[in-house]
Amino acid sequence: MFSLLAYAGKWFRLILSGFVEVYTDTYFKFVEFYDKSCGNWEDSVMHERAGTVAKPEDLINVEELLNAYYDLEPDVNIPDQRVVFGTSGHRGSSLDYAFNEAHIVATTAAIVEYRASQGFDGPLFIGRDTHALSEPAWRSAIEVLVAAGVDVYVDSRNSYTPTPAVSHAILKANGAGTPTGMRLSGSGLADGIVVTPSHNPPRDGGFKYNPPHGGPADSDATSIIAARANEILASGWSQVPRYKGADLLDQPKVHRYDFRTNYVKDLINIIDMDAIRNAGVRIGADPLGGASVDYWAAIGEHYGLDLTVVNPKVDPTWRFMTLDWDGKIRMDCSSPNAMASLRKLMTPDASGKTPYDVAHGNDADSDRHGIVTADGLLNPNHYLAVAIEYLFHHRPKWRSDCAVGKTLVSSALIDRVVADLGRELVEVPVGFKYFVPGLVAGTVGFGGEESAGASFLRKDGTVWTTDKDGIILCLLAAEMIAVTGKTPSQLHREQVERYGASAYARIDNAASKEEKAKLAKLSAADVTATELAGEEITARLVEAPGNGAAIGGLKVCTQNAWFAARPSGTEDVYKIYAESFLGAEHLKLVQEQAKVVVSDALNA
């Protein structure tokens, strides 16, 4: 029976072009839908080489990319060439006039002005990932900061720094976890910059600002910074004062900080490292060529873990990566295609054994996680639900009123788990910034996004990081195995038995700019439908229940299903996230009727 199911599952995956993962065993099977940030799983065409290793023709020309960073000057009158802060900072490619020296100089100058206006006059911690554009942008930023008299803290190894290590450094400098708590006002407050486009392709660069709370800057801050940066671009960015000497890193205002040691040694306070070591959990770590590459080796050595860095290579072309769904190199550790090599490594042999008990991947700046067991790559939504249940049963020092944070497009499986735990669910719009206040105060024990990003509190209930931390989520999987004797995928199967299996997907639907603008401003009253896919509509949301913040779209719920529609910020489409606990066919019906509900609301 198993072989027949496996054979059928193989063809089912091919039919659905890789967006559906089918896991089977002797007793049951269930379907997992992956959000691949790529459009409609029915209509999008899977690249013929998706999941295969990159070829020379897939690789960027690093020299061309770096030359473009310095040589091409953006035109601020062209929208695509302006500084624009999304949910994770400003991103773009130098080849597109979207991430050039001018952008970084202007944005850093704007950050200097912003932090001064807010009274943030302490150290600024700056880190970078392994993208080719990260180092020149990192240097440009330091030139501006030094000329402005800012005390800049750079990596003491002159190497890569994961996003969570920067957040950790900011919080530590500001007193987080100390008896007096974190200082939120007064002089000497630290903040930071992370130069990274996260999981984006090798041709891209990214630049984000983290204020003293250590997490992503909110829209109030980023709107001010972006507006001022564009003013500087228009008025003459080349006039911004910069220190251009070859001895830049030896200037008195540039200080060395051991991000790695400070982060690694503190992990004992958030993860049960002793349990992992004593249980002999075999761990395979794949940094995917990202900033965590030296961190995993240091973690294994410091704590005496049976941990192997399965791919220690760093290459700005990422020639060792397998192609994502669209044939692009993308370091997305939640993608079955980008994680094809690690999935293959973890395929059980004829005796059912795997080289590691658990393997995991991180994206380029290590703020995301991908968990692989003998059952394959675990759906990010399912792992979040497993992590939440485990943590709230194994962190006795957390506050009794500690809540769980999730984005409103994350799986409703989390809702069921949290309800069973008797905890409050804080559902917020898309954006990790919304979890920051609760994590700082210790009132939110776990905050997670459907896109495989999360963080949680230390064992004692105080804040760890306020930015996503893929490293601790990977280590947590090993802790689960050590403590429970079960893999995260096995724990998920137990959740399925208790709460039901869900089908989850994201599709895109065409929309004009006018329609997108209207969708972002809908009111609940604009939704006149009373049923969705055969079930009574129980909620129509345009504001997040957890904090009252605008969704920038719409969410409609029934007893066993929901959909959320949000306009894309870069394409003429709107995204439909949907989930059903009544199976894959019901999910398709929810998706189709969601388009009708949205269309009717837009035309009301």
Distance (Å, rounded) from C-alpha 518 to C-alpha 252?
A: 52
Q: Are 246 and 143 in contact, with CB atoms under 8 Å apart?
A: no
Which residues contact residue 446 at a Cβ distance below 8 angstroms, ignoring those fewer than 6 apart? Answer: 387, 388, 391, 392, 404, 405, 454, 455, 456, 457
Report which residue type is found at 346: M
Q: Are 137 and 89 in contact, with CB atoms under 8 Å apart?
A: no
Which residues contact residue 291 at a Cβ distance below 8 angstroms, ignoring those fewer than 6 apart? Answer: 127, 128, 129, 130, 160, 161, 162, 163, 196, 364, 365, 366
Which segments within 129-178 are labelled E, that is strand? 152-155
Which segments within 468-549 are labelled E, that is strand? 503-510, 531-532, 535-536, 539-543
Q: Are 361 and 345 in contact, with CB atoms under 8 Å apart?
A: no
- Please tell me the total number of residues recorded for the chain in this structure: 604
Distances from the Cα of 114 to the Cα of 127, 229, 522, angstroms: 19, 11, 33
Integer Rg of the chain from CA? 23
Which residues contact residue 97 at a Cβ distance below 8 angstroms, ignoring those fewer than 6 apart? Answer: 72, 73, 74, 75, 78, 80, 81
Residue 59: count other Cβ atoms within 10 Å of its Cβ: 17
Nearest to 143 by CA among 98, 189, 203, 193: 193
Which residues contact residue 400 at a Cβ distance below 8 angstroms, ignoring those fewer than 6 apart? Answer: none
Give me the active site residues, please. Answer: 198
Distance (Å, rounded) from C-alpha 468 to C-alpha 464?
A: 10
Q: Are 467 and 163 in contact, with CB atoms under 8 Å apart?
A: yes
| Sign for the pseudo-dihedral over CA of 482, 484, 485, 487 | negative
Tokens 């004009």 correspond to: 512
Distance (Å, rounded) from C-alpha 491 to C-alpha 382?
A: 10
Distance (Å, rounded) from C-alpha 160 to C-alpha 365?
A: 9
